[in-house]
């Protein structure tokens, strides 16, 4: 980003969306369906990682530290609101035209329009300071020093552990609710709506309060406590009443974690250089993604043994992580 330009990288993410949807459309038309769909899925996955890194990096570049949590939360809240509308539009298109191709075309068109809207910003793009912007190879070599000087080592280890623990449950909570508590697809949709509604408000509020208090670590600890409450409520539920409470706690998990963790990482990376923020965010995303990789499989094994065993293990691990974060994370 410091070399090419922040908004050019954002545009590249939109182009990846358009390319992946074009491949999906060809696959849906029967042109090498398995190969093209797989390639499109890979491009979509790359785009997802790119979006996460660019959003945090751009907001960090454009905002001062004392307002960063608020704007991180606002960006996440707007993205979440848009993500809620997307499935409704996609479902309407599919029901109207009876084909997935119409959905893929709409997605690609929106991505290209978003890319076009950024053209004025790319013409006066944000780059690294003159003479200070490093090549990608230089940034990668400098990453360990950035992590060390910013005091990010312990934080990244804890974030990796957190990512692994949450990945254990993968898609198993909805399966558990459907098989054990009789939740219907409509029930699951309402539960997700509860979580989304809480987080849409909470993301901005938590970011704002953390800015005002100039504290980040306590909010990450609170997020873990809400995670313990979430899984504890799932375990205690005998009907869907407690499930609604659980999903409200899930909204608080997202609210207290997403903007605050991004602000925490970017502020520490800035201790070395503002131009090193993107690579620090990229390292954070890479490490947590790697930590999530085995989670679905391990969680599946535990779920097959006993769903309650899986959720009990997660509660215990989150409780331990909460204690470690309270002891090791420093503002």
Can you give the pLDDT at residue 61?
Answer: 81
pLDDT score, position 131: 47
pLDDT over threshold 80, residue 147: no
Q: Is residue 131 part of a domain?
A: no
* pLDDT tens by residue, 71-88: 888 888 888 777 777 777
* Domain end point (choices 73, 92, 126): 126
**Whether residue 235 is found in the same domain as residue 120:** no
- The answer to whether 225 and 322 are in contact (CB under 8 A) is yes
22 and 148 in a common domain: no
Which one-letter DSSP state was computed for residue 239?
Answer: S
- Residues 202, 108, single domain; the answer is no
Give the CA angle between residues 71, 74, 77 to the nearest 5°.
150
Q: Can you tell me the mean pLDDT for 199-203? A: 88
pTM of the model: 0.79
DSSP state string for 91-133: HHHHHHHSSHHHHHHHHHHHHHHHHHHTHHHHHT---PPTTTP
Q: Which domain holds residue 181?
A: 137-331
Instruction: Point out the domain boundary residue: 93, 126, 159.
Output: 126
Give percent helix, percent strand, percent coil of the chain, each to the nearest 5: 85, 0, 15
Residues 182, 325: one domain? yes
**Could you tell me the two tokens for 128?**
């690294």
- Inter-residue long-range contacts of 295-302, CB under 8 Å, 24+ positions, other chains counted: 295/163, 295/164, 295/165, 295/166, 295/167, 295/168, 295/170, 296/167, 296/168, 296/170, 296/171, 298/168, 299/167, 299/168, 299/169, 299/170, 299/172, 300/170, 300/172, 302/168
Residues 127-146: what's their mean pLDDT? 63
Residue 134: C-alpha distances to residues 2, 53, 273 (Å): 7, 18, 11
280 and 192 assigned to the same domain: yes
User: Which residue, chain included where needed, has tokens 């599946």?
Assistant: 300
């Amino acid at each position: 980003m410091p070399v090419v330009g922040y908004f050019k990288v954002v545009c590249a993410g939109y182009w990846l969306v358009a390319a992946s949807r074009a491949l999906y459309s060809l696959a849906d038309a029967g042109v090498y369906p398995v190969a093209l769909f797989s390639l499109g899925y890979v491009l979509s996955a790359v785009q997802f990682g790119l979006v996460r890194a660019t959003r945090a990096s751009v907001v960090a570049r454009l905002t001062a530290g004392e307002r960063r949590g608020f704007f991180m939360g606002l960006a996440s809240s707007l993205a979440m609101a848009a993500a809620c509308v997307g499935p409704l539009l996609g479902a309407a298109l599919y029901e109207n035209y009876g084909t997935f191709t119409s959905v893929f075309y709409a997605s690609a068109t929106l991505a290209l329009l978003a890319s076009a809207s950024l053209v004025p910003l790319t013409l006066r793009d944000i780059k690294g300071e003159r003479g200070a912007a490093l090549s990608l190879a230089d940034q990668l070599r400098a990453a360990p020093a950035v992590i060390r000087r910013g005091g990010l080592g312990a934080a990244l280890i804890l974030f990796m552990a957190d990512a692994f623990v949450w990945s254990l449950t993968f898609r198993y909570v909805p399966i558990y609710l459907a098989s054990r508590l009789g939740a219907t697809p409509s029930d699951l949709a309402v539960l997700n709506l509860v979580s989304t509604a809480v987080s849409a408000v909470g993301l901005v509020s938590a970011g704002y309060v953390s800015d005002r208090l100039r504290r980040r670590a306590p909010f990450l600890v609170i997020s873990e406590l809400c995670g313990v409450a979430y899984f504890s409520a799932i375990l205690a539920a005998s009907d869907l009443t407690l499930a609604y409470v659980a999903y409200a706690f899930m909204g608080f998990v997202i609210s207290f974690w997403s903007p605050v963790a991004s602000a925490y990482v970017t502020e520490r990376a800035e201790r070395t250089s503002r131009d090193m923020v993107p690579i620090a965010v990229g390292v954070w995303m890479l490490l947590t993604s790697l930590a999530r990789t085995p989670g679905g499989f391990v969680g599946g094994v535990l779920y097959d043994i006993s769903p309650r065993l899986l959720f009990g293990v997660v509660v215990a691990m989150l409780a331990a992580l909460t204690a470690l974060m309270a002891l090791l994370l420093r503002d």
